Amino acid sequence: MTCLAGIAACKRRARWRACALAVACAALSAVAAACAGEPVLDERVLNEGWRFRLLPGAAAADAHPQAAQWRDASVPGTVHTDLLAQELIPDPYAGAAEAGLQWIGLADWEYAGSFDVGAATLAAARTDLVFDGLDTFAEVWLNGTKVLDADNVFRIWRVPVQGRLRARGNTLRVVLRSPIARLLPQVQAMPHRLAGNYPSPYGDEPRDAMTANFARKPGYHYGWDWGPRYVTAGIMKPVRLQSWDAVRIADLQIRQDRVGEKIAEIVAIVTVDAARDGDYALRLWQTDPDGRRTLAAQRRTTLHEGDSAVSLPVQIASPQRWFPTGYGRQPLYRFDVELMDGKAVVATSGRRTGLRSVELQRGAEGGGFAFVVNGVPVFAKGANAIPFDMFPPRVTDANIRRVLQSARDANMNMVRVWGGGYYERDAFYDIADELGLMVWQDFMFGGGMPPAYDPAFRASVAAEARDQVRRLRNHPSLVLWCGNNEEEIAWKSWGHGKALAEAAPAFADRVWQGYVQLFGHDLREIVAQEGGGTAYWSSSPGNDLAEAANTPEAGDMHYWEVWGNPAYPVAKYLEVTPRFMSEYGLQAWPVMRTVRAFAGDAPLSIDAPVVKAHQKFMAGTGNERLLHYIRMEYGEPRDFADFVYLGQVMQAEGIEVAALHHRASRPVTMGSLYWQLNDVWPGASWSGIDWYGRWKALHFHARRFFAPVTVAALRRDGTTTVSLLSDRMRALRGSLRLRVFDVGDGRLLRDERTPVELPPLAATVAMRRDDAELLAGADPRRSVAVFDLEVADEPPSRGTVWFAPARDIAWPDPGLRSSLVHDGDRFRLQLEAQRPVRALWIDFGDLDAELQDNALTLLPGERRSLRLSSPASLAALRGALHLRSLADALPSPDAGTSGAGTNR
């Protein structure tokens, strides 16, 4: 060992200063002696030098011989992305590639890598191979010996390999079996089948024998109504080699027993895996949000070989408490534990967390559903998050941060991690902690009844749950664990349970009892044991296994009678007042720039093959449903570009109605999470942010309707109710202005101001007016009522009420004027109109440009000045600027149209 090597070794073993001094002052043998007393955990990440191929003998090799040859692979990665990188398949997102790529999910694949190890690893008392994410049915061989059969992508697989390694040329071989081919025989052998989700349209799996329910694998890989079917496989997370001589700190939990304004009582629980018996000292260091580091606790303990846990109680006076965004700051503490053998540090571990109390409050009768953080009832505002990509390893931390920052920028304070995807990586929750976004976390069950009657299946899920709850429990953002998405309601109300009970009553009872065991008992018990006090909810929607699920009176609710069947008008949202709305939504296409990115120069219409390939609702016929909602309010689009624009307007204005109704119903309703926040690929969906991170009109609207202080002007049955909404913890005063304008000529018909008071954490009705009072004889087809709320130190808020469907209004040229100028290192877009402008969309074509605001309402004579950031030149931006409003997209009610089936 050279001196430099000695210093490097000591640095790895966390005693840099002592070892560096020894190197400077003594012989090399002294360095080795100093380091020899420090048997700390040594970890290597084995992500380099991997190759992949079709498993020899695969039937697909005849049609795809190039894939049967060894090729370079990425770890973490997937088969699809490796094939794409080797140019063996087309881009799965471009054009209509999906049907031609289903062979990949039917094939078995082989990955191989090699690595060397040093003398210290060979001599270590313990060495483990750790696989954080094998997707999914994986056989692992080390140096020709099988060491693992894995069957659950959500588990962390730890394999002892001491005595199996050699100094050079260790080989790892991972065989990934097709989950469809693996499971299909047993599913087909069942005399009675379990209901699945979305049958494959491609023939790779029989429609009456779906396998996804039986695989502990991301459900969305099998296709959903917003994403493609790519049943991928791969080594989706890092492969690690860990070795140690004394102890390994397996986990550090910061359990928060009581957190109040004056004191926080916490317990640091250190879980240790010891290679041998020994006496040790533990020291817990605390770094507060201001960077001050102190010794929080210490103790001596005797550890025996194997697993054990040691507790270190801590009290923190006047804690800096973590709050959801909009309710306070997000200070974060760090805790670091050192395990010492004599004076040598033999193991370390650290965690970051925020101190807060959180409770799921059910109310006196058990019907309520409200999150209370640090004693404050929080109205949950946000959306459901789906996976960021079909192939998780290519999602970057920057992708995650962009979407979550966009959620916070839209005044959201909660995201629901939906159960048909995967448990997000640590970075997702770290960012949520920093941004103050509460996380509702589903366990990974997205729909379709699982075989929970099988004890082996339940045991696998229990192991998965312990892994994931332990991994995520220190995050202050995590406020709820939910057993599944829509499985209870599917069984009880969608005919799944009834159909099976009629065909095989004994089996149906067994299936349901297995469900109750898994979601009513097993997962609840694991969260109670491991979750540090975080609440558990058995299914969404539901009332925690009460007889009735998905009712407005109790628990949480999914409402899909708008958009889904029977496709009620948007106004129906105003008739449903839940305790907590965890799903509702309207679909829209992303902007034309995103559409062209996957469609290329292909002609665009609602029936174009490339368009239908990226529309997954109702097997590609979802554009008819979208047209149904566009036609109800706006009429017939003239071409595909207007179809896209009007779809976004419909989505934004419709979700605004629902969200404001939920907020105006506080405290009966205490949450509004629309479907959905983000996209898994570029296509039609219910998202407010597309796959590229571009905001749809919905997300700009969300920033306004989720603002901490805002006005809700909601018209139902000819009466407008104006509510003042405040999430602030202090009373506010302001003014409410009512104006009525003539749309045709821009005349102001009415102008009134009223002083108003807004109680804290409340929705307050400010006025109710029927149409006759508001219009005072004006033509409803030419009139708009505008309600502006102004409160000091709060952004202004506006609500508009239209008295006729947009399709029945004669939209004149609004006389819109714009100018674009330099503003320091950015730009500024200035807008002014002579007549009311509804749904103004500002677009710069293919240029990258981020606008301060969009999807606007402008009033006559009103000037708006918007900041604009772009790498493009002023001349290029001016040339690309395009403004579109309803006056551009909707013809006169008496004019003919060419329809959305044409391209422009």
With cut-offs at 50, 70 and 90, classify the pLDDT of residue 772: very high
Least confident of 18-32, 331-345, 459-473, 854-868: 18-32
Q: Is the pLDDT of residue 846 over 80?
A: yes
| pLDDT at residue 21, rounded to an integer | 33
Q: Is the pLDDT of residue 144 over 90?
A: yes
Render 726-745 in DSSP notation, one character per residue: E--SS-EEEEEEEEEEETTT
Mean pLDDT of 360-389: 95
In angstroms, the CA 537 to CA 359 distance is 12
What confidence tens digit (pLDDT) does each residue in 157-191 have? 999 999 999 999 999 999 999 999 999 999 999 99
| pLDDT at residue 888, rounded to an integer | 95
Q: Is the pLDDT of residue 708 over 60?
A: yes
In sequence order, which ranges of 706-832 are alpha helices (DSSP H)?
A: 771-775
| pLDDT at residue 900, rounded to an integer | 60
| pLDDT at residue 19, rounded to an integer | 35
Token pair of 323 as six digits: 């709050």
Render 308-324 in DSSP notation, one character per residue: EEEEEEEEEES--B---
Length of the chain (residues): 904
In this structure, which amino acid lies at residue 27? Answer: A
| pLDDT at residue 757, rounded to an integer | 98
Q: Which residues pair with 171 in a beta bridge?
A: 114
Cα separations (Å) of 149 from 141, 152, 232, 786, 812?
Answer: 9, 10, 18, 64, 69
Question: Which distant-in-sequence residues (6+ apart) come within 8 Å of 368 by Cβ?
Answer: 361, 362, 554, 579, 670
In this structure, which amino acid lies at residue 14? Answer: A
Q: Is the pLDDT of residue 13 over 70?
A: no
Residue ranges, comma separated, of all CATH 2.60.120.260 domains in the chain are 44-240
Q: Do 434 and 332 touch, CB atoms closer than 8 A?
A: yes
Q: Do 607 and 595 touch, CB atoms closer than 8 A?
A: no
In this structure, which amino acid lies at residue 188? Answer: Q
| pLDDT at residue 469, rounded to an integer | 98
With cut-offs at 50, 70 and 90, classify the pLDDT of residue 892: low
Q: At what angle do helices 523-530 and 455-472 cross, to 10 degrees?
A: 30
In this structure, which amino acid lies at residue 341? Answer: D
The kind and range of the H/E element at 686 are none
Q: Is the pLDDT of residue 7 over 70?
A: no
Q: Look at the domain 812-884 and name its fold.
A: Immunoglobulin-like (2.60.40)
What predicted TM-score, i.e. pTM, was given to this entire model? 0.94
The kind and range of the H/E element at 823 are strand 817-823
In angstroms, the CA 46 to CA 165 distance is 14
Q: Which residues pair with 349 in a beta bridge?
A: 337
With cut-offs at 50, 70 and 90, classify the pLDDT of residue 859: very high
Question: Which distant-in-sequence residues (6+ apart) come within 8 Å of 833 by Cβ?
Answer: 814, 815, 816, 817, 858, 859, 860, 861, 862
Among 420, 515, 391, which Cα is nearest to 78's? Answer: 391
Token pair of 483 as six digits: 């057993």
| pLDDT at residue 726, rounded to an integer | 98
Among 650, 655, 653, 701, which Cα is nearest to 676's? Answer: 655
What confidence tens digit (pLDDT) does each residue in 687-706 have? 999 999 999 999 999 999 99
Q: Is the pLDDT of residue 899 over 80?
A: no
Question: Which distant-in-sequence residues (6+ apart) come within 8 Å of 211 by Cβ?
Answer: 179, 180, 183, 184, 187, 205
Question: Which distant-in-sequence residues (6+ apart) come within 8 Å of 92 by Cβ?
Answer: 80, 84, 98, 101, 228, 230, 390
Q: Do 776 and 749 touch, CB atoms closer than 8 A?
A: yes
Give the Cβ contact number of residue 41 at 10 Å.
Answer: 22
Among 119, 522, 476, 538, which Cα is nearest to 321's? Answer: 476
| pLDDT at residue 441, rounded to an integer | 98
Token pair of 842 as six digits: 């500002």
Mean pLDDT of 577-583: 98
In angstroms, the CA 672 to CA 579 distance is 9
Q: Which CATH architecture has domain 247-378?
A: Sandwich (2.60)
Give CB contacts under 8 A, 24+ apart, made by 80-89: 80/104, 80/230, 80/232, 80/390, 80/391, 81/234, 81/391, 81/393, 81/394, 82/52, 82/234, 88/64
Q: Is the pLDDT of residue 4 over 70?
A: no
CA 673 to chain centre: 12
CA 33 to chain centre: 50
| pLDDT at residue 26, rounded to an integer | 31
In angstroms, the CA 490 to CA 550 distance is 10
| pLDDT at residue 448, rounded to an integer | 87
Q: Is the pLDDT of residue 903 over 90?
A: no
Residue ranges, comma separated, of all CATH 2.60.40.10 domains in the chain are 247-378, 812-884
In sequence order, which ranges of 86-237 are alpha helices (DSSP H)?
A: 103-106, 119-123, 179-188
| pLDDT at residue 550, rounded to an integer | 95
| pLDDT at residue 893, rounded to an integer | 64
In angstroms, the CA 597 to CA 95 distance is 9
The percentage of residues in the chain with a pLDDT greater than 70, rounded to a whole number, is: 94
Q: The domain 44-240 is classified under which CATH number: 1.10.150.650, 3.40.50.300, 2.60.120.260, 3.40.250.10?
A: 2.60.120.260
| pLDDT at residue 9, rounded to an integer | 37
CA atoms within 13 A on the CB side of 650: 33
In angstroms, the CA 58 to CA 253 distance is 46
Q: Is the pLDDT of residue 113 over 70?
A: yes
What confidence tens digit (pLDDT) does each residue in 581-590 have? 999 999 999 9
Mean pLDDT of 274-283: 96
In this structure, which amino acid lies at residue 846? Answer: D
